[in-house]
């Protein structure tokens, strides 16, 4: 499908009023159809990215739970990285895991659902193409849903990635945590360093307004 360009819209100005109106109406319909198609395609890619993250997270946790006993470890890179099967009743990287409150899991599920709702709303309204923002939100969506799945079913999350140097150990985490952190980092970089948004007419989608006042 071709996108109505500035040239086609300018040609309408040279035609009789009735033909010009038809041409403008046709151009508007084509542009609306193109935008709808792009939005639908974008959402398919968003769901695909989030689905891949969720599938990797579920599969990796299943493998670890079946192959490594709880609290046991398998060295991968000596003195740097190992797989350790642990459970986390708190948030990402063990935050609030030691809280004695019986409502901890309820609050974590509530805030996870709230975060999912916000991300879904942002993705639903984001129709500018599969750019870094859409990818970042898709990663966060898949990761948040992966950890929410664990909390709802078992009340805790399975963690297994452990990095350490000597006595300094980074809190264990999983694929879902990684996707959330990477997505958040992409959004942060975009906020700090992305150029200002360019008007749509510079991309040839919307006719540039005339500077001459009639």
* 150 assigned to active site: no
Helices (H), the chain: 6-11, 17-67, 104-125, 132-154, 175-193
Query: Distance of CA 129 to CAs 45, 67, 182, 201, Å?
Result: 10, 41, 20, 16
């198609």: which residue's tokens? Answer: 37
Q: How far is CA 125 from CA 32, 115, 132, 146, in A?
A: 16, 16, 15, 23
pLDDT at 64: 96
Q: Pinpoint the alpha helices (H) of 155-174.
A: none
pLDDT of residue 86: 93
Helices 132-154, 17-67: axis angle to 10 degrees equals 40
Print pLDDT tens along the chain (214 aa). 444 445 554 554 554 565 656 656 665 565 454 444 466 677 788 889 999 999 999 999 999 999 999 999 999 999 999 999 998 876 554 455 455 556 667 777 888 888 888 888 888 876 566 788 889 999 999 999 999 998 888 888 999 999 999 889 888 999 999 999 999 999 999 888 876 655 444 444 444 455 444 4
- The reply to whether 98 belongs to the active site is no
- What pLDDT is stored for residue 36 in this prediction? 46
pLDDT value at position 131? 84
Of 85, 89, 88, 44, the closest CA to residue 67 belongs to 85
Active-site residue (options: 57, 150, 159, 172): 159
């Amino acid at each position: 499908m071709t996108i109505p360009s500035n040239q086609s819209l300018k040609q309408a100005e040279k035609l009789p009023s009735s033909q010009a109106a038809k041409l403008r109406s046709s151009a508007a319909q084509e542009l609306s159809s193109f935008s709808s198609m792009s939005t639908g395609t974008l959402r398919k890619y968003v769901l695909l990215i989030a689905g891949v993250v969720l599938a990797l997270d579920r599969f990796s946790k299943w493998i670890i739970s079946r192959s490594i006993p709880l609290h046991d470890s398998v060295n991968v890179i000596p003195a740097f990285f190992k797989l350790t099967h642990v459970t986390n009743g708190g948030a990402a990287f063990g935050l609030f895991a030691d809280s004695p409150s019986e409502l901890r899991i309820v609050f974590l599920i509530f805030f996870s659902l709230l975060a999912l709702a916000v991300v879904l709303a942002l993705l639903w309204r984001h129709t500018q193409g599969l750019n870094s923002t859409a990818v970042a939100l898709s990663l966060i969506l898949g990761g948040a849903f992966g950890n929410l799945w664990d909390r709802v079913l078992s009340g805790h999350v399975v963690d297994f990635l452990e990095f350490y140097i000597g006595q300094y150990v980074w809190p264990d985490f999983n694929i879902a945590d990684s996707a959330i952190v990477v997505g958040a980092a992409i959004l942060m970089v975009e906020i700090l360093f992305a150029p200002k948004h360019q008007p749509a007419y510079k991309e040839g989608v919307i006719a540039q307004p005339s500077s001459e006042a009639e």
